[in-house]
Chains A and B, each alone.
Chain A
Amino acid sequence: MLTKINVTQIIKDHVETLRNYNSLKLSHSDFFVFFILPALISFSLLYYKICISNEARNILFTALSVFTALLFNLLLLVFDIIQKKEENNGTITKLKFLKEIYSNISFSILLSIVDIIVLAFTFFNNDYIYYAANFLNYYILTLFILTILMILKRVHLLLSKEISN
């Protein structure tokens, strides 16, 4: 029933990119940075009762919407590079690298969409829903920023290489 909106493959593909390239094993440090650290940050902020204000919520709505659109464009750019077989020169490494960037961008788009939905729940007057939504928002936002940094590094290297070639 939910096949058409099943995004688990996007999550799986992104998690696969966190494997160490030299050993193919999931990196413990990457797992900590991308999944545990956001939780620690979210807990800390909620512990000190730092919740999202109305102004911050509005800014986040706007920023995430803009990011979603920009990331879709970036997705198409990477797709275009993947399509150019001649420039790929047949190396599997480059194709693998491009596919990983593609997965990272898709995941970050997913995060921004989910965070927009989670932000809507911060309107609720119910304390449980309110605090849970705040926690999730901080978690997803931190994960989003980390993923964007990862994408930034990879796209910078990719385009630098394309330019120098």
Chain B
Amino acid sequence: MATISLSTYSLRVKQKNNDNFLRLNNLNGKYDFIKIFLNYLRKLKNTSHDISTKRLMQCNRFHLDSRLINGIIETGEYGYESDLLNVNKKRVSYRRKIDDAEILPFYFLLDVPQNKNEGILILQRFKQFGIRKFLRDDFKTYFNSLFSDLTIEIDPLVPYDLPEELIKKGIIQKIRLINFKLPVDIANYYDNGEDHYEEDGYMEIVFAAKRNKKLPIKNRVLGFLNKKDTTDFIQLRNYEYQDVKIEVKTNNTKRTISLNKFGNVNPTFDITNTVELTKTGHPVFDSIDKEAKILLDDIKNSIK
């Protein structure tokens, strides 16, 4: 099953020659960032096309609720041909042309609190695909055209305390030790594309608590949260693993936390097992929206 996850980012604006970040609802004394972003999304209804990177982006669905904006941004790349094969008929059903772009939908949620200088942006990732870079670059271009004296920063938001808070408050129901079948040499891993190994197939050993019970391993998990090497989390003969994923239940919500030492700078929250999917294989909007809002609340509580 394709991995669906949420990535979190902080959003801030400052003067170009100043390190102080501005209140997002009062840029240059009168502009509200929420309105600027809304106008940008309206502009995105007419597709944004980056010829240099051969990428398209559009937004036909967004909604404003007080200081929250959520919606779906669709993006895709073009520039190469390929055959699309029907897996049942084992025949080519369509030949993708060089000008055809495969459009994928990505959920987004932007929270711009009143009188704060930092907003929180949550973006969906689908397998190894995301929209952060393209969205950031495209929005920066739009923003800079309006405010030449301001600069916007969209950086990974690493809520360091969040995993610890979730584990302390919640009940550990499952531990998965995952072997990505990684190569011996980091060079081969880098060359083949880092996420490619996770998607190709992997082995895992699962320790699950019985129904309505918990695994009594909380202290051990907390001890490994800040460690670079988690391969000694549980000693198993003849089985090596690169990632330890902990399923924690808090307030009837299940959350998967990775102790992954290979984790990248962008923290991702795996929601593959909790989000509902449509027949198209993409998340149901209300389902992913609910997950994102729960995550947003958790982050806000952890960074207080």
Contacts and interface: CB of A to CB of B under 8 A. Distances in A.
Interface of A: 20-24, 27, 89-94, 96-97, 100, 153-154, 157-158, 160-161
Contacts of A96: 186
A23 to B, nearest CB: 5
B186 A93 contact: yes
Majority-rule SS of B interface residues: loop
Contacts of B182: 21-22
Given A92-B263, A93-B262, A22 B242 contact: yes
A143 B180 CA distance: 32
B190 A97 contact: yes
Contact of A89 (B133, B180, B263): B133
Given A21-B186, A23-B240, A153-B187, A93 B229 contact: no
Given A23-B240, A24-B231, A161-B191, A91 B264 contact: yes
A35 B187 CA distance: 21
Nearest to A89: B133
A-B complex: 9 closest residue pairs judged by Cβ atoms: A90-B265, A22-B182, A21-B186, A157-B191, A20-B184, A97-B190, A91-B264, A23-B240, A154-B187
12 contacts: A20-B184, A21-B184, A21-B185, A22-B181, A23-B231, A27-B184, A90-B156, A92-B262, A97-B186, A100-B186, A157-B187, A158-B190
Interface in B147-198: 156, 180-187, 189-191, 194
Interface string B226-267: 000101000000001010000000000000000000111110
Contacts of A100: 186
Given A22-B182, A24-B229, A93 B190 contact: yes
Given A24-B229, A97-B190, A91 B242 contact: no
A134 B169 CA distance: 66
Contact of B194 (A27, A93, A153, A154): A93
Contact of B240 (A22, A27, A157, A160): A22
Nearest to B264: A91
Contacts of A91: 194, 264-265
A91 B263 CA distance: 8
A158 B266 CA distance: 22
Q: Which of A22, A23, A94, A100 has the most CB of B within 10 A?
A: A22
B264 A93 contact: yes
A96 B190 CA distance: 10
Question: Counting chain A CB atoms within 10 Å of each CB, which of B185, B191, B265 scores highest?
Answer: B185
Given A23-B240, A90-B156, 12 more contacts: A22-B180, A22-B181, A22-B183, A23-B231, A24-B229, A24-B231, A90-B265, A92-B263, A92-B265, A93-B190, A94-B194, A160-B191
